[in-house]
Copies of this chain bind each other. A is one copy, B any other.
Amino acid sequence: MLIIGERINSTRPRIEEAIKARNAAHILKEASAQLRAGADYIDINCAVTTGDELQDMDWIISVLQSEIPEINICIDSPNYRAIEKALTVYKGKGKIFINSITGEEPRIAKILPMAVKYKTKLIALTMDEKGMPNSAAERVEIAKKIVEHVKKGGFNTEDLYFDALIRPVATEPGQALEFLRAIPAIKGLGNVKTICGLSNVSFGLPHRGTVNAAFLSMAAAAGLDAAILDPTDRHISSAMAASAVLLNEDQYCAGYIKAFRDKRLI
């Protein structure tokens, strides 16, 4: 499973503070910790600050690529201008995710050409102008519509990752099951992948790591290709390592044994 580390997000107070203070050391520390814990990409979200998102995005990417030139990044913004800024600033040798489009045509029209031009991977949320779907079948319908759009736009669907939008089980108890059912159904559309923002599932519950870990294991077994999560969290790294072993994606259990030795198992 491909891992996108979620920690550089300005909704976290320490990150907002670091962005405002232009504290490069803290941003680099967060990126390095996630890479060491197994992140393949580093998500960058600076949408929620009192500052200027475009300038903040420019600064964070500049900081990261100056120290870690091979870094893979995930540009995470509701603002297509911030995404555009990030794409022009990034000069690293790594790969890029854009996070995200939805089924809404104006947003696809703005973002898809950038994804094609910069050869990025692309996350598509299975929601549209009508809002968030409830059933697995509705999620698949929206995904189908998005597949048609991106194909027309010349985007390779191999690089399209559908996020079927997990919602908190504490308030919507049937939604985790619908999400799990949606994974194989969306992958059945053809040459597309699936992704998930993990931690939302446990919102409102105590001891959230336990629920996040169980859900990650379930989603991995259902065929999830990628996840946006905090790989430094030991509940998460435990589920990552154990799932890889169980799904025969960890030859000789080497990754699991390393996680054990590095004390990343809970």
Contact = CB atoms under 8 A, between A and B. Distances in A.
Given A218-B217, A218-B221, A221-B218, A246 B205 contact: no
> Which of A177, A217, A266 has the most B CB atoms < 10 Å from its CB?
A217
A130 interface: no
A248 to B, nearest CB: 5
A69 interface: no
Copies of this polypeptide in the complex = 2
Contact of A246 (B176, B239, B243): B176
Nearest to A247: B177
A152 interface: no
- Is chain A's interface secondary structure helix, strand, loop, or mixed overall? helix
A245 B211 contact: yes
A250 to B, nearest CB: 8
Interface of A: 169-170, 173-174, 176-177, 180, 201, 205-207, 210-211, 213-215, 217-218, 220-222, 238-239, 241-243, 245-248, 251, 253, 256-257, 260, 265-266
The list of the 3 closest CB pairs from A to B, nearest first, reads: A214-B242, A218-B221, A214-B217
